[in-house]
Structure 1
Amino acid sequence: MQGWSSHEEQQVRFETFARNMKFKGKRVLDLGCGLGELYDYLSENQRPGFYLGFDQHWSFLHQARKRIGSSQCRFKFADISRATLPEMDIIVASGSLNYQSKNPDYLNEMIMRMFSACKEATIFNLLNIEAFPDQQVLQAYNKLEVLQFCQTVTPNVTLIDDYSDADFTLVLRK
């Protein structure tokens, strides 16, 4: 497991995604896929029809490709902030939008890009600024401000904040 404070916390985030989104048979794009652990989780619970993971760490992708041999799963080296996002049913970002950027509009631009490329929905989680007020590498967010922005993208937005004090999840549906 990479990038999370614990395996248990990562599983809670994945469970939150699975409770609020139907992945079975869907084409899923995972931005910042790391080692492909979301694919592992979904394969046990709601097997997607096709899974494509983007990440900018070769070592993570190498490990994921070596470990996961499914023809329904692919990994691609890509900087998610610059890559062209393929049209997919569901676009996911679990933790990957929490890194600081020099671009003050980074999060809003990513949300718009993800929503434009999805056919059905975008689901992502972010660190809660109430739990992480001062970060040097990561960026935490005010959930109500992010929700308000998402409502300018689509009226079909759900904020989920009952699973952790540390972060929250947003679902944007077409």
Structure 2
Amino acid sequence: MAQSHFKIGTSKINEMKISGTSTFHDWTMKTAVFSGKATFNTGAENQITKLSAIAFNLPVLTLKSGQKKLDKNAYKALRTDQFKEILYKQVSAEVMSVNNSKFHIKTAGKLTIAGVTKDAVIDLYCFINKDGSISCDGNYPINMSDYNVTAPIFMGGVMKTGDAIKLEFSFLFEKS
């Protein structure tokens, strides 16, 4: 069993996005600008046997929706003047199952948004690529109010965003 250290590379598949609803339409903010690292243990036949560590940091101001007012209100709600990043750091992980060479890994860790840190259980779905890199994707539902984030309101209160949002991600980890 080999233990290897990885970092999120510069692949075009790397993406993080936050999506939610509003009284008018659904919205999405996304970025390819973030960093992260992981330590995987691998066995024979391209098996992930353990995830020893994973962490990522997302600079909030890199999230873009394509609508400047939405971005501005989201940054204000996330208090980016004080808190520049969304952070996740794994505390434990368990390889749950394998289906067609895709590994389901349940991670438990600490997610920090707008300066508030909460326990988070995030499911990863990973596979080992032919070049030895590891691709992972997943999502995590969040209530903004759990992190003391007030859902943004636009146009004098006519448009309101919902409290529930979803953090979605695709990472390509390359050996570091």
Structure holding more helix per residue: 1
Structure whose alpha-carbon radius of gyration is higher: 2
TM-score, structure 1 normalization = 0.29
Structure holding more strand per residue: 2
